[in-house]
Structures are given as structure tokens and as C-alpha cells.
Amino acid sequence: MDFMHPSPYQWIEVLRGIGKNLLERVPQIAGSADASVKIGRGAGGDQTFLIDEIAEKIIIEALDKVAGEGVGFTLISEECGIRQYGSETNIHILVDPLDGSNNAKRGVPYYATSIAVLDGNKLENLLAGYVVDLSSGKEYWAIRGEGAWCNGKRIECRGSEGSEMVAFEASAPAKDIDKILPVLKSARKIRCLGAIALDLAIMANGAIDLLLVATPSRSFDFAAGMLILKEAGGIITDMDGGDITGINAGLERTVPLIAATNNSLLTKAIEIIRDNQAVNP
């Protein structure tokens, strides 16, 4: 590894090493009584459970070694918050130690770790993204301008023009779901899976056509999945179709999101939302 300037491919190798360590430990306690032991609250504001803490410790141990080789970066993680490693550089690492932690603690087999590397402090600076599905062992990654992969095989979004399979996330359904309900009704099938970055990654691999994230998310919730989706040919915006690449890499909540395998599906979904808002302001 270049002690000062690791390449995107070197970062992916580091992240895959982290994924291997996570797969050896985290699935073993998912769904157990220990997984749900409350530790406190993370820097992102959500309740931290033992399984979250274990995942983050594995990640931080690996990044400590990278920093020990002379690489400087800013870590932004849901649990520990913001930490500076080594000399200050423009490299930022966004970490969600356990994407879908509620699934993991209850033993629902759909949860992941997502890590994004940026060469700046905004989402437009996404350089490399990595999502490891800790229930299946599948790895998804992407490098800016180079493409996206699943288990080493290049992936691309489906070319579907219809919303055959639509997924959504709404952590505050009583408040947020009404806005996206018309789109859900227009779909042939819908799913609420519980892990945003993993949703985006499986979309990149052809599993779903459209994703609606009704509750404002934090950048670490979706950054890695965002790059994987974009490099596979997909598109992600705010609920009005606005650009989100200017969002800061940070701990604060951002905006509701909509992602699609192509611009046609995205446009149709946005039109449905706008028409509903015009009728029910």
C-alpha cells in the first residue's frame, strides 16, 4: 500500500479484508440474546446494541492498522462519530457498521456492513464503496469511473421499464409512508427489507427496480450503496429528483431518497409523488 495515497483498488482490498473478519464473527451472534444487549447511543443518535459495537470494533481495528502504515483520513461512523487518523488529508471514510441492525439483532437474514471512501467531504467525492451482506456472504463494491462488482463479477442494473419489484424503507412509517404510498400501489410487488445500502447494492445486481427511502437518512446509511448503484448504471436523487452529490459526509440526517435502475422509472415515480401532493397538499 502507498503509505500516503492508497489507490481505490488498494482501498477495496482493505475493505474486503474487513468484510472477511466481519463474516467470521457477526453472523455467529445475530439473533442471539447477546446481540440485543443495549450499550448506549451511537453518534448518529440511534440505540447501540452489542452486535453494532462488535462490528464497529472489527472495522476500527483494521483501520487502525491502515493509519499505522502512514495513511491519514477522517473516519465518520454511526457509532463512534468522527475521528481523525494521522495527518489531515482529504480522505473521508463513511461507515455504517451494521446496516439493518434491527434485522441482525432479531435474526432476520438481511443485514450488512457498508463502507465508503471519499477523496473529499461531499458525496460527489465518492471514490470507492463496499457493502458486504453478512447474512449471505455476498460482497458488492464499486470504484468511481470503473464499474461495480458482486463477488468479483461485473454487475449492471436491469433494463426493465416497469416497476415490477419496488422496495421501500420508512423508519417512521406513521409519519413518512403516506408520501410514497401511491408509488407502492402502482408496483406489481413491494418489499420493505430493512437495510438501505444493501437495498441499493442488490438493485445494482438486478434484484429490484425502484427504492423509496421515505425517512431522511444519514450519508453513511447509503453512500457506499449509492456509488455501487451509480457505477452499475442506476440513478439516485432526493424525492423531488434533485441532485444529492452536494450532501456533506457527516452524521446529520439528509433527505428522503429515491433510486431507480433507469431514468424512466425514476421520472415516473417522481411524477406520481408530485401528482399526489398536488391533490393532497
95: helix, coil or strand?
strand
Q: Report residue 24's pLDDT band, with 50, 70 and 90 as the boundaries.
A: very high
Could you tell me whether strands 92-99 and 73-77 are parallel, antiparallel, or unpaired per DSSP bridges?
parallel
CA–CA distance, 59 with 187 (Å, rounded to integer): 38
- Would you give the DSSP letter of residue 175? H
* H helices present in 69-195, as ranges: 101-106, 173-186
pLDDT at 47: 63
Q: Which of 33, 218, 183 is nearest to 107 (CA)?
A: 33
* Cell of residue 237, nine digits: 436523487
Could you tell me whether strands 81-85 and 92-99 are parallel, antiparallel, or unpaired per DSSP bridges?
unpaired
The letter for the amino acid at 109 is P
Please write the tens of the pLDDT for every residue from 219-264: 999 999 999 999 999 999 999 999 999 999 999 999 999 999 999 9
Q: Looking at the DSSP assignment, which residues form a beta bridge with residue 235? A: 260
* Cell of residue 225, nine digits: 450503496
200: helix, coil or strand?
helix
Please write the tens of the pLDDT for every residue from 138-181: 999 999 999 999 999 999 998 777 788 999 999 889 989 999 99
CA–CA distance, 23 with 26 (Å, rounded to integer): 6
Instruction: Name the residue with higher pLDDT: 64 or 38.
Output: 64
Q: Report residue 7's pLDDT band, with 50, 70 and 90 as the boundaries.
A: very high
Please write the tens of the pLDDT for every residue from 36-58: 777 655 555 566 778 888 999 99
166: helix, coil or strand?
strand
Q: Which of 72, 196, 197, 186 is nearest to 130 (CA)?
A: 197
| Residue 158 CB neighbours (<10 A) | 20
CA–CA distance, 169 with 191 (Å, rounded to integer): 9
